[in-house]
Structure 1
Amino acid sequence: MADRTTSSITIAAPRDAVLAVIADLPAYPEWAGAVKSAEVLTTDGEGRPDRVRFVLDAGVISDAYTLAYAWNGDSAVSWQVAEQGKMISELTGSYLLADAGGGTEVTYELVVDLKVPMIGMIKRKAEKVIVDTALKGLKKRVESGR
């Protein structure tokens, strides 16, 4: 069983503004450091990304894979691997959004499991870098109004 990495950040914006940035997956390379490309393959009935092909370069973890998304109103989005990459066998995660005194608390959870052996400490460090970079990038992107 893979370990889960979780971190939270408070963003000075309402949930709908935060979710709009999260849902704009093709723009991830502009603010989510390790994501090199994100191509929406299909959308759901509300026009939100449903299946997305990613190219990731997070140093020790570099791969291309497809994720399937599940949206829960303006309070959460989760994903899981729909098509594995060469290295990544499991990649599940979620953004959970909650009102927080005029802003939004965003909790990011991530589980990564690899096909190739990797020392647990190095894999957890890579996961933490991905999560922290994503949260800080999300905060900056939302608060800059882009």
Structure 2
Amino acid sequence: MAIKESRDIVIEASPDEILDVIADFEAMPGWSSPHQSAEVLETGDDGRPSQVKMKVKTAGITDEQVVGYTWSGNAVRWTLVSSTQQRSQEGSYELAPEGEKTKVKLEIAVDPLVPLPGFVLKRAVKGTVETGLDELRKRVLKVKKG
């Protein structure tokens, strides 16, 4: 059963500052609670990661996955390349500058291999999106302060 979720948040930083934090995958396990490890496997011509191997724990399930990333303008999109616990995953961060702040929209669609009741899956994905945005905001503000 696939589930889709989206949410947005306003962060007091520029799109570039936010994208730099997102692109620093190797630091992600230090600030994103679901991420246990992350390793950049490939980097694109723009210097940003294009393929990342990570271990992620959500709803008590640990998944080892490889994810492909595409960076363009004020957005980053990803697609699952391989996973031990998911059939598919697609997501994106869309950033829209608003003066000194940026509106960040996170969208994700997940189709797990493990049969989970719909309400459990929806709660897990919604929690991941909320936590991901809240933790991203905290990290961006911390990095921005120096």
Q: TM-score range by the shorter chain?
A: over 0.9
Structure 2 alignment gaps of length 5 or more = none
Please, what is the CA RMSD of the aligned residues? 1.2
What is the deviation of 1:62? Answer: 1.8
Is 1:19–2:8 an aligned residue pair? no
Partner Cα distance (1:112, 1:70) in 2:
18
Q: Which residue of 2 aligns with 1:92?
A: 90
Matched residue type, 2:103: E
Give the TM-score of the pair, scaled to structure 2: 0.94
Q: Which residue of 2 aligns with 1:54?
A: 54
What is the deviation of 1:91? Answer: 1.4
Is 1:28–2:37 an aligned residue pair? no
Partner Cα distance (2:71, 2:136) in 1:
18
CA contact (8 A) 2:2 2:112 kept: no
Matched residue type, 1:76: A
What is the SS of the residue equivalent to 2:130? helix
CA contact (8 A) 2:42 2:52 kept: yes
Structure 1 alignment gaps of length 5 or more = none
What is the deviation of 1:25? Answer: 0.9
Matched residue type, 2:95: L
Is 1:134–2:132 an aligned residue pair? yes
CA contact (8 A) 2:88 2:112 kept: yes
CA contact (8 A) 1:60 1:126 kept: no
Distance 1:65 1:116, change over 3 A: same
| 4+ aligned runs moved over 2 Å, structure 1 | none
Give the TM-score of the pair, scaled to structure 1: 0.94
Partner Cα distance (1:22, 1:140) in 2:
12
Matched residue type, 1:82: V
Partner Cα distance (1:62, 1:130) in 2:
13
